[in-house]
Structures are given as C-alpha cells and as structure tokens.
Amino acid sequence: MIRVRKLPDIKILDEKDKRLRLISKEVTFPLSKEDKKNIQDMCDYLEMSQVEETQEFYDLRAGMGLAYIQIGIPKRIFVVVDEVEEGKFDRYVIINPKIKSSSEEMIYVGEGEGCLSVNRDVEGIVPRHARMTIEAYDENGKKFDIRVREDLAVAFQHEMDHLDGILFTDKIDPKNPFKNKEFMREL
C-alpha cells in the first residue's frame, strides 16, 4: 500500500477571481507564524503535485511555483519548487524580489506555460528572459541575490508577474499567439 502524505489545506484562486489582479504589497519582517506556515504549505503542495503517487491520489495538476496572491494574500512572496532529481527538490522562498539584471536572450516554453490558477489549455508563447539575477529576502529577512536560468528563470518571471497582478495569458498576443517565435529559443 502506498502511504500518501496529507495534502496541505490551501485554496488556489481561479483566474476569474479579481484578487489575482491586485498588486501585492512589500513584506515586513519578522514574518508571522501564519506566513511561515503558508510558505511551508505552498512548498509541500508544489512538491506533492510533482510526485506521481500524490498527484494521482489527490488529482493534482503539476505545479512548479505559487505566488502568495494565488492563495488570496496580496504580499510580495512566492515559492518555486524544482525537482532536481527523482524525489529530490530544491525549494526557493522569494520575498520582496527585485530584478537586478536580465539577459537579452529571450526564451519560451515549447509546450506552453501553465498556471495553477488557469484551469484550461492556453495556446501561444510567453516571451521570457533566458537568465536573470534577482535580489530578494528569505523567510528570516536575510537579503540575498540569486541567478536563475532556463526553466527556473521562466518560473521566477511567471511568479513575479503574479505579484504585479499579471497572468501569463496577458503576455500572449491574442491576434498572433506565436508572434516573434523565430526570435526566441524554445525550452
């Protein structure tokens, strides 16, 4: 018998929810116990969504990132959980991020970006920077810089957009969903 962990009790907002369009507010430290628990729950949820057994058991869509606004709280916090090898994950907790630099090279996700708040298939490409450096804070209020590239760069940009009330669907040209594809590299 497969032993499945209990799914964290978080409610992810659907794209129709107007709160997703709010611009999130800067976070002050120290974080509350509730904020720390939410961050842990969001990371656990994302990890479980990427593991086949828990994904099937709870009927989850795989997700790599979640912004705080997606659980209805307009604070500048997001998490990214990246499976680096089977069953082993890197967790990134990013608070009050600011972009320090980004590459000129643009990329896009070949099979299309997805979002846990967008419960439908969306055709088209979302232009993203291939590499970027971000300045942010961890849960303890310690400032750090992080350089991300490829898939992680896409995930970070996607979640940072959420902090400004932007969904990935906003970045797809409705008249020409594959516009400028030839000037970008496919992931």
Give me the half-sphere count of Cα atoms (radius 13 Å) on the Cβ side of residue 94.
31
- The tokens for 13 are 């907002």
DSSP secondary structure letter of residue 76 = S
15 is catalytic: no
Give the position of tokens 């990890």: 47
* Residues comprising the chain, all counted: 187
Selected catalytic residue, list 15, 53, 135, 159: 159
**From CA 151, how far away is CA 145, in angstroms rounded?**
18
Q: Do 44 and 91 form a contact (C-beta atoms < 8 A)?
A: no
As annotated, the active-site residues are 159
